[in-house]
């Protein structure tokens, strides 16, 4: 990576912002490899994703004001994982996955003390459906309920959920609606409701 950054004229001009579309694309390619690819596909796509991390780290190392490199990234990650696994690296006990999650969430909360809202730290660039699932979970945590569906019977399995979502997307297409925009706009209302509940509490 260092050699590419130093000797490739294209790579020399690339910034963190320039790399964002590639990072998103490579992440989706890893997902595709997990869901429907071969082991060879997965090995290759994980390598491409790792290259993105190395590339960002090489760019960061050249920052004149606040440089850091891949070793700093790895050190920060190691420190975080040690803090969040006290049942592995300290004397805490976790015999079930739920108990592990309690330790993880406690460590994460201690790290994020400066956050003023449960919405802080949720990346707005997530796809709308993934963002919705994250925000609905955070909303439930502060007692904000999401309106129930107007349909009488909802899906009872994940496969039926997929069919229901696909049917809704088809209905949006038929009516000329933008399904992504519709969900994002509704999520803004959920966010406002959460912030109102937090300020009232």
Q: What is the pLDDT of residues 55-114, one digit of tens each?
A: 999 999 999 999 999 999 999 999 999 999 999 999 999 999 999 999 988 888 888 777
d(CA 99, CA 27): 30
Given this model, what pLDDT does residue 141 score? 81
d(CA 166, CA 171): 9
d(CA 82, CA 125): 28
d(CA 69, CA 108): 24
pLDDT confidence of 124, banded at 50, 70, 90?
Answer: confident
**Does this model's pTM top 0.95?**
no
- Predicted confidence (pLDDT) per residue in 8-54, tens digit: 999 999 999 999 989 989 999 999 999 998 999 999 999 999 999 99
- Predicted confidence (pLDDT) per residue in 135-180, tens digit: 888 888 888 887 666 656 788 888 888 888 888 888 888 899 988 8
Read off the tokens for 93. Answer: 């006990």
**DSSP label of 135:** H
């Amino acid at each position: 990576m260092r050699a590419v950054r130093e000797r490739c004229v294209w790579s020399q001009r690339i910034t963190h912002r320039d790399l964002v579309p590639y990072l998103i694309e490579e992440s989706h390619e890893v997902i595709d490899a997990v869901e429907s690819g071969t082991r060879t596909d997965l090995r290759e796509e994980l390598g491409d994703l790792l290259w993105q991390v190395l590339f960002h780290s090489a760019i960061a190392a050249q920052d004149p004001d606040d440089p850091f490199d891949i070793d700093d990234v790895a050190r920060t990650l190691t420190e975080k994982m040690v803090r969040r696994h006290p049942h592995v690296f300290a004397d805490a006990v976790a015999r079930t996955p739920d108990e592990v999650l309690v330790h993880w969430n406690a460590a994460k909360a201690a790290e994020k003390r400066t956050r003023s809202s449960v919405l802080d730290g949720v990346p707005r660039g997530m796809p709308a459906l993934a963002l919705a699932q994250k925000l609905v979970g955070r909303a439930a945590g502060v007692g904000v309920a999401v309106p129930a569906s107007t349909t009488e019977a909802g899906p009872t399995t994940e496969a039926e959920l997929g069919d229901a979502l696909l049917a809704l997307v088809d209905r949006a297409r038929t009516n000329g609606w933008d399904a992504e925009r519709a969900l994002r706009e509704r999520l803004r209302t959920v966010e406002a409701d959460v912030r109102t509940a937090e300020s009232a509490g």
